[in-house]
Amino acid sequence: MPNKITELFEIEYPIVQAGMVWASGWRLASAVSNAGGLGVLGAGSMYPEVLREHIHKCQQATTKPFGVNVPMLYPDVDKLMAIIVELGVKIVFTSAGNPKKWTSFLQDKGITVVHVVSSVKFAQKAEEAGVNAIVAEGFEAGGHNGRDETTTLTLIPAVKEKIKIPLIAAGGIATGRGILATMILGADGVQVGSRFVASQEASSHDLFKQKIIEAKEGDTHLTLKELAPVRLLKNKFYEDVQQTYAQGASIEELKNILGKGRAKRGMFEGDMEEGELEIGQVSSIINDIKPAATIVADLMSEFNLAKKETAGL
Ligand SMILES: Cc1cc2nc3c(=O)[nH]c(=O)nc-3n(C[C@H](O)[C@H](O)[C@H](O)COP(=O)(O)O)c2cc1C
């Protein structure tokens, strides 16, 4: 299915597996790349030397292109970038920060740079910074997100109107119909997060994967906007946060309750009560844990079926 995104990344299908903390290591990324999508390592939860190991293993497990996601909130971004350049990674997704800082440095080394945004304003800034493509992530998405609560249905056409570079839609996409819908809205490709957390190869804890497939409508909420807005699955930790809000929480109190290592504790170590569980609204329609290659194949066959079914509209 050749289009701007498959050509940019040299892949078969315009499906990017989101780089995600505590979920997307080399097993998931290489499985998605081998299946014809773009696998992405989530460097945000890796020490620099851990990233080095994941890149090495990914290079051994696939000959296809793969990328690395680097949230710029990360304290040692320069160390991660040095490893990415040294090991010859060809695609970098930057998020949670200013794209100006790293774009030309990476591009000068032949690396394709994609930046993740959640608003038209930041999409325009990213285009001005010279990135090769943009991921526009709607309010439905799992993990960290914008404060404005702009849904994917609103964000994609709005961004499309203002930018010329390739556009990747994210947030709430877990079906082939979702892919088709966002393409009709103007996207050239999709970034899929939550669906891939519930895959066999994701490094997330099995108890977390089980919670995702049990999740129902209304079980997630975008919270902690004063620190860094994040969509969480409701659990005891989430209820504690809400109680702190009800008592008129200060930023310091929110920081205290979040503490350190909450995300690892929940998503990686499997503490379903006290851990932070990042997942999207779309978890309510994810009902099984599948191999990543099956997810990619199912997304594409649903997409092709949906295209046929809607051809006569
Ligand atoms: C568990 C989890 C961890 C995430 N970690 C990151 C991250 O490290 N960097 C990033 O740019 N986005 C991160 N995200 C957001 C995803 O990259 C992606 O844009 C989002 O999941 C798409 O929405 P969806 O979950 O509805 O598919 C994360 C999402 C989840 C669910």
Tell which one of 144, 222, 265 to mutate to probe ligand 1, the residue whose CB is within 8 A of the most ligand atoms: 144
116 lines ligand 1 (CB under 6 A): yes
Residue closest via CA to ligand 1's atom 15 equals: 143
CA of 309 to the centre of ligand 1 (A): 30
**pLDDT score for 310:** 95
**pLDDT score for 204:** 98
| Residues 53-80: tens digit of each pLDDT | 999 999 999 999 999 999 998 989 999 9
Beta strands 143-144 and 230-233, pairing class: antiparallel
- Ranges of the chain with pLDDT below 50: none
Tell which one of 16, 20, 51, 197 to mutate to probe ligand 1, the residue whose CB is within 8 A of the most ligand atoms: 20
Domains and CATH numbers, the chain: 4-203+285-310 (3.20.20.70), 207-282 (no CATH)
Residue closest via CA to ligand 1's atom 5 equals: 20
**pTM above the 0.75 mark?**
yes
277 lines ligand 1 (CB under 6 A): no
Residues in the chain: 313
**pLDDT score for 259:** 83
**pLDDT score for 120:** 97
Secondary structure, 3-state, the chain? CCCHHHHHHCCCCCEEECCCCCCCCHHHHHHHHHCCCEEEEEHHHCCHHHHHHHHHHHHHHCCCCEEEEEECCCCCHHHHHHHHHHCCCCEEEEECCCCHHHHHHHHCCCCEEEEEECCHHHHHHHHHCCCCEEEEECCCCCEECCCCCCCHHHHHHHHHHHCCCCEEEECCCCCHHHHHHHHHCCCCEEEECHHHHCECCCCCCHHHHHHHHHCCCCCEEEECCCCCCEEEECCHHHHHHHHHHHCCCCHHHHHHHHCCCHHHHHHHCCCCCCCCCECCHHHHHCCCCECHHHHHHHHHHHHHHHHHHHCCC
141 lines ligand 1 (CB under 6 A): yes
